Structure 1
């Protein structure tokens, strides 16, 4: 054996021994498996089925002081809508009482002149919406206006040629990149980011800090292993756990939530691999700086998981946030990974965005791994 190949062979032997040790330790501790595999499965079901941004089952009071065939037809149209649950009432006071009691969320008022004004083309409906939740109130108004417009267009068709000569516009909406018009398609790709952040950062920081705290790293420090080998041995097993989480998310998105993958699958895999390295590096950095389980877990949640959920565009659009918060969000690696995933899942191979996000994630991975290597030294200081 040549003298040049001996260091490489020694490196491979030491690394393989460390990886086996870390893997056995990971499998032996059931709490690690619960966090790494059990919690991602729970998050898939909670966010996939329990969290939705869609506005449905809107409790609507329809006040018709003088029922007519036109008002009855309008109420029937509302009743057929998947978004509204109408309740017919004969007085405004009754509806207002239900609104104050939160039994309904909105009131639609069809007065006595509704039918006659409809024939002349200037009928109006007053809508009173509970405004305690501004976002939901805006959605209710938008849904009701759309439904009313569609119904009015059908009424024009029924009135015959004279009414059609006055003109009319029918809006046919189409949503790009979300043909199903459901927030599940918007949430599920971002869920991959949360799971990989949780496994990569939180679990790695917790386990590594536990070894610092218990002093088990001292045995490694007096051995011939090098800091780079220690880091690789820590990364490889938890990288595998993160990939398991990715596979679970992709399977759930495809077969459970029917989210399409419009772009290249290899881009999804490559981006996930790079981001997993970023998350692992952040976990190693936190553990090297704190060397305490409790402190490492708290910092991992506050510095990685919560920002990834709140400030990366997972739930809130960064463009709608204050400038200072927008700047913070643009510094997070999770922001670019979410953008990459939603592009691949919903938009397809839009290469300017894909190349930009992959490039930025690669820079983050190289910088953070270098910092983790620098801070992991064979000293007990």
Structure 2
């Protein structure tokens, strides 16, 4: 038995993929779970509309600017920040009305309006809680809550949630789940197809025919493209018709964006398969560079702005990040082209890059 153990150990050490997966994969997962996954939301992008320029309002504004959780953008008119809220460049907008200071001086009810972007459920809830926390601290500093059990008797926040009024998690998660499902089909499944041909020896028969690299790539690409689009249509139909998630954008725009992302996912999967020529290695590489980023680094579950700066830069080369952003906008907000168009252009660039490299890396000989 010990002889077999030694033989298997030597064989494992001679296989770089086994050693790499056994050592590198746990370290990668530990790195992602430590730094990329965070339930603490930081760097909340908050717009503050100051219609009142009095000293007391400036002190309230300073309380938000000095808070470590907020990145404050100051405006004097609501129209300056409305497009930023719709486009996702702001998580929320706090409106301080023109008569705020005078109401405070009279000790009468002083309402503040808080507009929150509800496409990210966890962030939307935290924005409201953090704003109320800063306001309570400011009221204590100003001595405005002395002798009162509820500071809301002086200042009341009137919240409105855009795009997801009930702040339902499924309304934000189900559209983004399309990205994970299409990644499974586009990257994990296609990562096996060319490698399977090499392992079974059927690639030799293919190379004996008068086909080109383009023919090989397209023959693997087309069936999985059709399967991926059918899966997208099925998930979208179940989400909207069965689970009540609204689709406020155009169906044709959804099809266009999904097809663009699927092209990039298929290109990545075929590239992995062509380079590795081994189904086991191809599946592990596809898991690391395809599925895990779609689940962890796309912004589907964890807020990208709360990740360390290095991880945020890493997400910029992950196609699922752009697809999830476009999907949430299409389903919850509608055809917001300032979000959809840039994301689609980036996905188109990924698709062109991966497919071009795949064609170049597809070998037409047995070496």
| TM-score higher than 0.5 | yes
Superposition map of 1:167-182 within 5 A: 168-182=154-168
Q: Is the 8 A contact 1:312 1:330 kept in 2?
A: no
**What is the CA RMSD across the aligned residues, in angstroms?**
2.5
Residues 1:290 and 2:263 aligned together: no
> How far apart are the structure 1 equivalents of 2:217 and 2:267?
9
Q: Is the 8 A contact 2:193 2:220 kept in 1?
A: no
- Equivalenced residue count is 227
Residues 1:229 and 2:215 aligned together: yes
Deviation at residue 319 of structure 1 after TM alignment: 0.5
Q: 2:334 aligns with which of 335, 348, 354?
A: 348
Q: Is the 8 A contact 1:268 1:341 kept in 2?
A: yes
SS at match of 1:174: strand
Residues 135-179 of structure 1 deviation map (CA, whole Å, 9 limit, x = unaligned): 99x97x959x89xx9xxxxxxxxxxxxxxxx96454432211112
Q: 1:253 aligns with which of 239, 243, 249?
A: 239
Query: What's the TM-score once normalised by structure 1's chain length?
Result: 0.56
Residues 1:331 and 2:292 aligned together: no
Q: 1:220 aligns with which of 206, 212, 235?
A: 206
> How far apart are the structure 2 equivalents of 1:366 and 1:297?
23
2:305 equivalent in structure 1:
319
> How far apart are the structure 2 equivalents of 1:314 and 1:328?
15
SS at match of 1:309: helix
Q: Is the 8 A contact 1:264 1:348 kept in 2?
A: yes
Q: Is the 8 A contact 2:260 2:347 kept in 1?
A: yes
> How far apart are the structure 1 equivalents of 2:199 and 2:340?
41
Residues 288-319 of structure 1 deviation map (CA, whole Å, 9 limit, x = unaligned): 11100110001101111001110111111110
Superposition map of 1:147-296 within 5 A: 168-296=154-282
Moved over 4 A (4+): 166-170
> How far apart are the structure 2 equivalents of 1:331 and 1:344?
22
Deviation at residue 207 of structure 1 after TM alignment: 2.4
> How far apart are the structure 2 equivalents of 1:243 and 1:258?
21
Deviation at residue 180 of structure 1 after TM alignment: 2.5
Asked which structure has the greater CA Rg, the reply is: 1
Q: Is the 8 A contact 2:213 2:364 kept in 1?
A: yes
**Could you tell which deviates more after superposition, 206-215 or 181-190?**
206-215
> How far apart are the structure 2 equivalents of 1:356 and 1:263?
16
Residues 54-95 of structure 1 deviation map (CA, whole Å, 9 limit, x = unaligned): xxxxxxxxxxxxxxxxxxxxxxxxxxxxxxxxxxxxxxxxxx
Change (3 A) 1:234 1:167: closer
Q: 1:301 aligns with which of 248, 266, 287?
A: 287
Q: Which runs of 5+ in 2 are unaligned?
A: 1-38, 40-121, 137-151
Change (3 A) 1:174 1:229: same
> How far apart are the structure 2 equivalents of 1:368 and 1:300?
14
Q: Is the 8 A contact 2:180 2:291 kept in 1?
A: yes
